[in-house]
Structure 1
Amino acid sequence: MRVDKQRLREIIKELKKWKAHATILLSLYVPPGRPIGDVLNLLRQELSVADNIKLKKTRNAVERALSIAIERMSKIPKVPDKGLVLFAGEDPDTGKSIAVMLIPPEEVPVFFYRTDKIFHTEFLEEMVSESNIIGLLIVERDAATIGLLKGNRLQVVEELEDYIPGKHQKGGQSQRRYDRIIEQMVEDFYKRVGEHANNVFLPLLEQGKLKALLVGGPAYAKYDFMEKDYLDYRLKKIVLPEFIDVAYQGEPGLREMIMRAGDLLKEQEYAETLKAIEEFKYHLAKDDGLIVYGEEEVRNALEMGLVGILLINEQREDIEEWLELARKRGAKPLVVSTDIPEGEWFARTFNGLAGILRTRVSW
């Protein structure tokens, strides 16, 4: 089974639920180019050694896992171009078993075999870790929000605030002294924001995961902040060219900034999905025949090539089937996270499945 990153996330999530009292859960990673015969020889040797396990329940569980692995691998004439990954095991107490063999979305980096109390998913987890992250920073003179945009997920990392008094008309030297005190308080807050932003963003930049930094805020505060060296020079190099005017802090402010960023974030899945949900709601309110929902109706529209964008909730069990059908019929699939605004509403009201049509249709 060849899987994409979304399906792989779901598989990893299921595998991580498994915990055993003994080393009976089998994990096998086979990189491309490895002869199937070599892998089968190893598994057969392990099966013969397993006969020496003293505890019968553990021995039986290990032998069954190895037998499943040998059976599955025997049916493969050649390791695929991305390699193969196989997991097999059972719970001796409940009799529940699991067997998964897949071709991952990225090349398997190592040959790895182990029976353990857990399934070893760490190599797969590296494949789905976000590598195209956008940093988000909202700055005003007494408040700031630091966030991350990872694919179709928005994360609020930290919110900062301070008390900065407003201007006061004292007059004369008292006024100038008061203004200098306020300016120093603002500068101290900006330094604090810069330190926290550097701590969040620099490790991601050094790992090659942070691709850009979007800065926004009300009025001129964002410009004042960016004029000086509060941010590390390496981060300043990846700041997107336009600063975004936003009225809020926290998650509402980050969502507003993403929506206002327009073409600056056109390749980001979250921004694209957010825009598609708003378009779906617009056509729903207008009742203009440019959307479709209901499983049978969506399937028919896909089969006829009418769907331009397929919206599907990430928690649907049949998500892979719909993603594949969308690709075959030329529709752009967008996975809707429940973290996105209206995500839960979409999942609950439309069973997490709908389409935006290329042309108006009377159903």
Structure 2
Amino acid sequence: MVKELIVKILRRVDAAKPTGSVVSIIMPPRKQISDVSKLLTEELGKSSCIKDRTTRNSVAEAQTSAIQRLKLYNKVPPNGLCLYTGLVMEDDNKGEKKIVIDFEPNRPINLNIYSCGLNFVTDEVKKELLANEPPFGFIIVDGNGALYGTLQGRAKEVINKFTVELPKKHARGGQSSVRFGRLRVEKRHNYLRKVCEVAESCFLVNDRVTVTGLVLAGSADFKNELEKTQMFDPRLAEKVVKVVDICYGGENGFNQAIELSQDALESVRFVKERKSISKFFDEIATDSGMVCYGVADTMKLIDAKSIARVLLFEGSADQICHTCACSCVTPTPMRLSYQYVTPEKIAETREFTDQDGSPLDLEGTEVFTEWITENYRGLGIELELVSDRSPEGTQFLKGFGGVCGFLRYKLEQELLLGGVEWTSDDEDFM
């Protein structure tokens, strides 16, 4: 399921107004349906002890609906399963209706949640599925085999793995020690070559590296040999951010490598974030005319199809930033025109016009962060989320509103933006 559809489903769940207790179930890929069904059956039995009749009925209704919906699944889908059931208010607030929403996430979800309460659990799901986290690669290598995996956010995936039987340092006899030593070195060399070749097939697509950073881990000296060997692709070698010692191989070693390399992974994210914001500041300082900032100006240039990339503060949803999607009716052919409007303007008037003064019909309003997250691919825009953990991030949020756009080409922005020159707060910028 695509990310944009996940956004719509979660928005629908958030908009629901429960009239009583509702059930939220989040299952990781390897969870057993029978275990969750057994848990729901036990909880349904306990609900009969609730004294309040209204609460007892709402809990029983939600849990029964969840049990019935899980009967449609033989096993948990490859990416996990999210299930929401309960009674909510009708759209006109004059009655109540039962909703049952279930979907497979757009990527593997590493959450195991059962909740029966007054609200649906969506915050953890949003952080897990909608976060724009860069992927990191892991190579777990020792004398027993190699494992290749990726970590994106909290979702980990094993891409490939294989085992090997290498000769020990000593043999029972039957051949000279020199010959035995030569064969042992040759087999170790061939094994290391295979590790490098498989790494290229896992982390290189169309001659481009698919991961932001690479971690080498293992319990023996193979990881150090892998880092130093010339057989290791230089494009992958330059992505190595850390080499860690672990006690295990295989998937247990993968889990341990993730724990031991968290500091390096955070550092890579931090450096990439600071690099993007610093580039924006450099463009502002040189007055290159290749960037814009603020929701209003960014929206106008997005509508003009002049924006190539948008930097967005990941917490901007807390700000009251709305977009107004309007469709032209005259005199031009029907098309969607995107504008930035404040909630106050929407309350005051329902009349909108484009830059030529042509009337527009209001199609709907959305929070800016939700709109750009859902539509950036269709608009041909790259979206990068940044935080305020660095001084540059704090300055970007306070001085420029946490929103900026990089233009595809230089243009006369003053004319396009209605003759309004940009102003900035020098105290915030400096």
TM-score normalised according to structure 1 size: 0.43
Q: Which has the higher strand share?
A: 2
Higher helix share: 1
